[in-house]
Structure 1
Amino acid sequence: METYGKILLIAMPAFLALVLFEKWYAWRKGNDNVKTADMISSLLSGITNVTKDVLGLSIAIYGYGWMVENLAIYQVKATWLTYLIAFIALDFSGYIVHRIQHTYNFFWNGHLVHHSSEEFNLACALRQSISGVVKIFAIFLLPAALLGVPEKVIAVVAPLHLFAQFWYHTIHINKMGLLEKIIVTPSHHRVHHAINPEYLDKNYSQIFIFWDKWFGTFQEELPDQPPVYGITRPVQTWNPVKINFQHLWLLLKDAWYTKSWKDKWRIWLMPTGWRPADVADKYPVYKIEDVYQFNKYETHIFPLMKLWLWIQLMVLLLFLSYLFGNIAAIGIPGIFIYGLFIFLYVYAFAELMDNHLNAWVWELFKLLCGSLIIFYTGDWFGLNAVAAYLTYIIVAYLLLSAVVHYYFCLQSKKAGIPINY
């Protein structure tokens, strides 16, 4: 956890800088597809995901280390060739898991957040799941485990493999010639994120595109079919916590309401989007039928609120950086209490962007959580050792934030802006 936190302290500013650079570049080119609310929602999703991972809130079924220790029939040394083999094995595992996520109802819940943005940009690459607590990818690394590829090799290669999937989430790079035949390019991945009928469930590969070509899931980006992004059952919210559990909630309701006991059990592993016939008729769910004729989700954010959103984001990143840089010092259970505060922060933040009437209530929960931490410990997770006055600054910020949220909720209501409930 501590090592991963240190890596993220370097990676987060780099990713944020690239996201902001793309926004500037898109604005300069007159094609700004990096909308403020959408971008911040993507960043909030990334924040919840890395917080969950740093806190170790994931369960791997048959961890890779266990497989190497118990199943290896050969042992290899950690040479450059070993790292290459591990990278290819990880990429194949990623292809299989990615395809499973798109194929079955239950596993789609842990992936749809990545597709939930109706734009395609570097920020949406950061939309990662918090609901996928159970990880199955290690099972598909069995070939590497049988060859005895050391666990430390996978530990090094896995973050590199993940970070290497960031760059191709953009509309600003056209087709790349010979590379189109070897690696996943922005063109390939635009197809994957599109909801056009001819593009759905194509191009699952993560680094090497030949997996799709070998297994029949490849689709080239067509010049006369511009990709339209999102999911066919749009999420209609900026809140990453809600997005992460929308599909699961629908599955639970469908399993409860259907009169067929067979459907109650099989719904989980039926094809993605499948619903029992009796429930689908009685409780219809909006689905985009014409990808060229639908309204993208938007909420009204007036200029002063937009400025406040940026301030909130910067403060949140400061809180997060302190957690990641001091995991060992904070210890258990402190890191989990801190994690709860981060999630409350994100939830209240996103509710304000959604123009929710109860956004200020969630901000009060955030204020209460932070205040209780400081009241019972007289500190903010060891911050007094740096400078005692910083704790007072946090108290002042929490109070100010609650007041500002309440103010914006009132202003939205007075201005006649549609309020969500």
Structure 2
Amino acid sequence: MELYAKALSFAIPFFLLLIIIEEFAARKMKKQVNRGMDTISSLSSGMTNTLKNLMGLSIAIVSYAWLVDKVALFDIKSTFLVYVLAFIGIDFVGYWSHRFDHKVNAFWNRHIVHHSSEEFNLSCALRQSISAIIGIYFFLYIPMAFLGIPAEVVAIIAPIHLFAQFWYHTRLIDKMGFLEHIIVTPSHHRVHHAINDIYLDKNLGQIFIFWDKIFGTFQEEREEEPPVYGVKKPVNTWNPLIINYVHFWALIQDAWRTKSWWDKLRIWFMPTGWRPSDVAERYPWAYWKNAFDQVKYDSKPSRQLLVWSWVQMIVAFGMVFHVLISFVNFQYLEVMLYAVFMMVSIFAYTSLMDKSKISIPAEVLRLTMGFGLFYWTGGWFGLDALIPGAGYTVLAFLLLSFLMTVWLIQKESKQSVKEVPAQSFAAGT
């Protein structure tokens, strides 16, 4: 985990730099690729995923190290070829796990947050799940384990493989010639993030596009069919913690409401979007039947709310970065408490972005936790050694945050939140 924290402390500033470059390039090209609230939501989602990983909230039913130790047929050394095989193997696993996430009702909840943005830009690449806690795809690693690819090689290649998926989340790069036949390009991935019927559940590859061509899930981006981004059943919130469980909650409701015991059991493993017929009739879902009818979610923030949301996100990022660079010096309990505090913080300010009144009790909890942590750590998790008076500065900001939230909720409640009209009612993914 220390290696993961160190890698992220280098990778995240690089990602942010590329996001800024993309925005400047888009403006020069007279294109809009970012919306303020959407970008804040994406970056905040990335922070929740980082915090979850730092807390170690990922459970492997069967670890790869155990698997390779038990079933390896060969004893191979860590040569360059082994690293290449590991990269290809991890990408093969990535294709199939990605495909299962798209095709199975319960598994879609593990992935919906990544597709929830109605924009397509580099920041939406950071929308990563906190709900995928249990590693259920260990069986996909069996071919690699049979070959005897060492666990330490997989541990090195896995984060590289993950980071390599960042760059192609952009609308600014057109088709890339012969590379379109080998790797996943921005054009391929625009298709993947689209809700157009022709594009749904296509181009599931993560680095290599040939998996899609081999297994029949490839779709080329068509000039006459511009991609429309998001999910068929819109999430209608900026809060990444809510987005992570919105589909799971819908499944729970359907399983509870249906009268059929068979449907209560099978709903979890049916194709994504499947619903019991009795529930679908009584409780229809609003979703975009025609992608081009989409009306993007917009909480219509005032300038004050938008600016304050950026301030909150920047402060939150600074705190998460503090956890990353100080991780090696923290006890596990300190990491857990800091991370929980940050989760509450992100929930509070993203709820405010939605103009939800739940942001006020969330801020009360955040403020209470802040004072408790200040007392417990005798400052703010050692930050005072780097920045004199940091602890008192944090407390002052938390108090200001509470007061700003109360004021903004009162102010913004006078404006109506934009309602997304229902275009049709049926099961959608």
Establish whether residue 187 from structure 1 lines up as the match of residue 198 from structure 2.
no
Q: Which residue of 1 aligns with 2:146?
A: 146
Contact 2:379 2:392 in 1 (8 A): no
SS of the equivalent of 1:381 reads: coil
Q: Which residue of 2 aligns with 1:220?
A: 220
Cα RMSD (Å) of the superposition? Answer: 1.4
Contact 1:367 1:402 in 2 (8 A): yes
Q: Distance in 2 between matches of 1:131 and 1:110?
A: 6
Give the CA deviation at 1:333. 1.4
Number of residue pairs matched by the alignment: 419
What aligned pairs does 1:20-35 form with structure 2 within 5 A after superposition?
20-35=20-35
Q: Which residue of 2 aligns with 1:418?
A: 417
* Counterpart AA for 1:255: A
Q: Which residue of 2 aligns with 1:289?
A: 289
Q: Distance in 2 between matches of 1:174 and 1:239?
A: 31
Establish whether residue 51 from structure 1 lines up as the match of residue 51 from structure 2.
yes
Q: Which residue of 2 aligns with 1:99?
A: 99
Contact 2:105 2:273 in 1 (8 A): yes
**Aligned sequence identity (%):** 47
Q: Which residue of 2 aligns with 1:174?
A: 174
Q: Distance in 1 between matches of 2:136 and 2:155?
A: 16
Q: Distance in 2 between matches of 1:419 and 1:290?
A: 20
Q: Which residue of 2 aligns with 1:277?
A: 277
Give the CA deviation at 1:387. 5.0
Contact 1:233 1:286 in 2 (8 A): yes
Q: Distance in 2 between matches of 1:144 and 1:95?
A: 15
SS of the equivalent of 1:326 reads: helix
Give the CA deviation at 1:126. 0.7
What aligned pairs does 1:361-376 form with structure 2 within 5 A after superposition?
361-376=361-376
What aligned pairs does 1:329-348 form with structure 2 within 5 A after superposition?
329-348=329-348
Give the CA deviation at 1:164. 0.6
* Counterpart AA for 1:74: F
Contact 1:2 1:327 in 2 (8 A): yes
Contact 1:330 1:382 in 2 (8 A): no
Q: Which residue of 2 aligns with 1:314?
A: 314
Contact 2:367 2:402 in 1 (8 A): yes
Q: Which residue of 1 aligns with 2:423?
A: none
Give the CA deviation at 1:388. 5.0
* Counterpart AA for 2:417: P
User: Could you list the per-position Cα deviations for residues 183-240 of structure 1 after superposition, in whole angstroms to 9, with x for gaps in the alignment?
Assistant: 1111111111111111111111111111000111111111111111111100000000
SS of the equivalent of 2:205 reads: coil
Q: Which residue of 2 aligns with 1:383?
A: 383
Q: Which residue of 2 aligns with 1:262?
A: 262
Q: Distance in 1 between matches of 2:299 and 2:31?
A: 20
Give the CA deviation at 1:16. 1.2
- Scaled by the length of structure 2, the TM-score of the pair is 0.95
- Scaled by the length of structure 1, the TM-score of the pair is 0.97
Contact 1:105 1:269 in 2 (8 A): yes
Unaligned ranges ≥5, structure 1: none
Contact 1:384 1:391 in 2 (8 A): yes
Q: Distance in 2 between matches of 1:76 and 1:274?
A: 45
User: Could you list the per-position Cα deviations for residues 275-326 of structure 1 after superposition, in whole angstroms to 9, with x for gaps in the alignment?
Assistant: 0001111111111111111211011122222222222121111111111122
Q: Distance in 1 between matches of 2:167 and 2:136?
A: 25
Relative distance call for 1:222 and 1:401 in structure 2 (3 A) is same
Give the CA deviation at 1:54. 1.6
- Greater RCO, 1 or 2 (C-alpha within 8 Å, sep 6+): 2
User: Could you list the per-position Cα deviations for residues 338-388 of structure 1 after superposition, in whole angstroms to 9, with x for gaps in the alignment?
Assistant: 111010111011111111123222112111111111123422223344455
Q: Which residue of 1 aligns with 2:244?
A: 244
* Counterpart AA for 1:102: H
Further displaced range: 150-159 or 358-367: 358-367
Q: Which residue of 1 aligns with 2:396?
A: 396
Q: Which residue of 1 aligns with 2:3?
A: 3
Q: Which residue of 2 aligns with 1:127?
A: 127
Contact 1:187 1:221 in 2 (8 A): yes
Give the CA deviation at 1:68. 1.2
Q: Distance in 1 between matches of 2:264 and 2:75?
A: 46
Q: Where in structure 1 do 4 or more consecutive aligned residues deviate above 6 Å?
A: none
Give the CA deviation at 1:418. 3.2
Q: Which residue of 1 aligns with 2:78?
A: 78
Contact 1:355 1:419 in 2 (8 A): no
* Counterpart AA for 1:227: P
Establish whether residue 205 from structure 1 lines up as the match of residue 205 from structure 2.
yes
Q: Distance in 1 between matches of 2:124 and 2:231?
A: 13
Q: Distance in 2 between matches of 1:418 and 1:354?
A: 8
Contact 1:59 1:135 in 2 (8 A): yes
User: Could you list the per-position Cα deviations for residues 118-159 of structure 1 after superposition, in whole angstroms to 9, with x for gaps in the alignment?
Assistant: 111111111110001012343212111111111111011001
Q: Distance in 2 between matches of 1:96 and 1:387?
A: 47
Q: Distance in 1 between matches of 2:23 and 2:115?
A: 19
